[in-house]
Amino acid sequence: MLHKYKVSAYLNGHDHNLQHISDHYLNQTVDYIVSGAADFVSDSTVHASNIPAGSLKFNWPSQKNHLFFDGGFTIFKANEKNMTVTFIQSNGVELHQVVIQPRNFN
């Protein structure tokens, strides 16, 4: 339904990590943004095989860097042209950024 109705982004926060998944289908890209690392941080990738190959653009923390993190958060900046999503570790280090374009009705 997200592709059918040309949704640009889907935001959620339950997986206790930071993720960017981008999926292209029916000539429409949907960016899935997970921001749930404010308290408990998990490096689980148990559901990674349930998404299309190549669609995982960012996942934090990874199993190799999961030692003692205080968490992370996401900043969304939207204007009339696009939305910039920036994932930030609790110490202020920018981890990943994506610019999401508005949906195309053509």
Task: Kindly state the helix (H) or strand (E) to which residue 78 belongs, with its residue range.
Answer: strand 72-78
Name the DSSP class of 81: S
d(CA 93, CA 89): 5
H helix count then E strand count, the chain: 0, 7
Q: Where are the domains of the chain?
A: 9-100
**Each residue of 45-80: pLDDT tens digit?**
888 899 999 999 999 887 665 555 678 999 999 999
- Threshold 0.85, pTM exceeds: yes
| pLDDT the model gives residue 67 | 56
How confident is the model at residue 66, as a pLDDT? 53
As a whole-number percent, the residues of the chain with pLDDT over 70 amount to 92
Whole-Å CA distances, 3 to 7, 42, 56: 6, 29, 17
pLDDT of amino acid 38: 82
